[in-house]
Structure 1
């Protein structure tokens, strides 16, 4: 195995978040590796989304430390963390519905293209971004709909477009929040193939409820329950863990 594959690119130590008297995340340790797909799973209310919000700096931790690419980002603002290479997609699609597929990606390319603050420039200023946009559309299989309005895409292809716009930021670490939510079987296969392809060159951390997807895609899994890490390992390891079975089946151990 190439040593680069073992490099930790995002880590958390002792991560905690309190909301008044409620501890939503309690002493969470997490290591996400380059070119690996890491799933964060657990029952509803386990604290998975709060961990995502802490890692992306939408929330400040009560205590603990977060590192990205070897740099302490614990108290950094979200925009600065994003510029360092951490990108996130959400459960709800975040595309511009009344722009074309191509223009959605060209808009997303403005930041790495150096045009993000040049709002006074004409739309033609985006033309130089078209070749890179077309590369991204080809990579995710959307070339055939490049001139369609995003609103006219199927639900699954809207999610593919969202991932394409996230990839336009050239992230080193990609966080996916329930990428398969609401999808039919065919779309799940498409997105799974895309995530697998994307992870060849970057770390992927995803929250996902579909355990068959988790089993198929994940190199490593962190299971959470009631704000704490319950188990870690590959899928066979965590699937065989009695504590995980109890957490998912809602039974008490005898």
Structure 2
């Protein structure tokens, strides 16, 4: 198997006359934490939506595990192991944390919402659900309705429901958005833990998180790759500093 799990070539997306993503070649190494950063309006979210098949590219190709997935539907690429974590909307607010995870585990087995299966099957799901609850630090909250969890714990639950689908490549869209410092540390530790056996690609605004977690960083500006490398090299790159300052966005340091 190649050490590149996800790659794009010439990935481009135009909306009307506006080019949001322009000729992006991306290579994500298997087993790494790869961050996609850039000032506001750089095209990060559009790029992410192309990779997760929510938009079709205007041109260019996407390869996952050496397979051309450019024309595949979101559900198909998810079954292949490329799964994106949705923000909070993915969680059923009235169901407990444990039942939210159980539903995701049932989906993974292809028998979604089949609540009246044998006790034995449900017990096995319960065991796995509790393992995931522990893995994301929600022990003690398993019976709390998801809607009553704090924002940071909802985020942990949402990552757990994504992990229940057992992705090989986990795509995180701004996992720290809206979180306070304490929650950021918790989710950061969680991402590091779950990265042990999978690849992670994340779009993230919080640059100290990017510095702490990422093996490799791709910087986008105006829809194009501006720089790539580890945090130290990209944060010192004059073009990157200028792109951040010129956009009125926060500093790269």
TM-score by length of 2: 0.93
In the other structure, the counterpart of 2:3 is 7
Corresponding residue of 1:79: 75
| Conservation of the 8 A alpha-carbon contact between 1:93 and 1:158 | no
CA contact (8 A) 1:175 1:204 kept: yes
Unaligned runs of 5+ in 2: 249-253
Supply the distance in 1 between the matched residues of 2:171 and 2:196 (Cα, whole angstroms): 15
Question: Secondary structure of 2:134's partner?
Answer: helix
Q: Which residue does the alignment assign to 2:148?
A: 152
Contact 2:40 2:247 in 1 (8 A): no
1:127, distance to aligned residue in structure 2 (A) = 3.9
Q: Any conservation in 1 of the 2:88–2:158 contact (CA below 8 Å)?
A: no
The secondary structure found in structure 2 opposite 1:243 is helix
Contact 1:113 1:129 in 2 (8 A): no
> Hey, what's the Cα distance between the residues in 1 that align with 2:179 and 2:22?
32
Instruction: Indicate yes or no: 2:171 matched with 1:175.
Output: yes
Structure 1 residues 71 and 243, CA, compared in 2 at 3 Å: closer, same or farther?
Answer: same
Contact 1:23/1:227, CA 8 A, preserved across alignment: yes
Indicate yes or no: 2:185 matched with 1:189: yes
Confirm or deny: 8 A CA contact 2:87 2:158 kept in the other structure: no
| Counterpart among 188, 209, 214 of residue 210 in structure 2 | 214
Q: How far 1:128 sits from its partner (Å)?
A: 3.3
Confirm or deny that 1:51 pairs with 2:47.
yes
How far apart are the structure 2 equivalents of 1:120 and 1:157? 25
* Structure 2 CA distance for aligned equivalents of residues 238 and 17 of structure 1: 25
* Distance 1:170-1:120 versus aligned 2 partners, 3 A rule: closer
2:126 to 120, 130, 143: 130
Q: Structure 1's 213 and 93: CA in aligned 2 closer, same or farther, altered over 3 A?
A: farther
Q: Which residue of 2 aligns with 1:20?
A: 16
Q: Give the structure 2 partner of residue 106 of structure 1.
A: 102
Correspondent of 1:97 among 93, 99, 105: 93
Distance in 1 of aligned mates of 2:232 and 2:140: 39
Aligned to 1:228: 224
CA contact (8 A) 2:82 2:168 kept: yes
1:172-227 C-alpha deviation (Å, 9 max, x unpaired): 10110110011111100000000011111111011111111111111000000111
Q: Distance in 2 between matches of 1:61 and 1:131?
A: 41
What pairs with 1:59-74 in structure 2 (closer than 5 Å)? 59-74=55-70
Unaligned 5+ residue runs, structure 1? none
How far does the alpha carbon of each residue in 1:121-161 deviate from its partner, in whole angstroms, 9 at most, with x for none?
46966443111111111111112111111111111000000
Which residue number in structure 2 is paired with residue 162 of structure 1? 158
User: Is 1:248 aligned to residue 238 of structure 2?
Assistant: no
> How far off its partner does 1:92 sit?
4.6
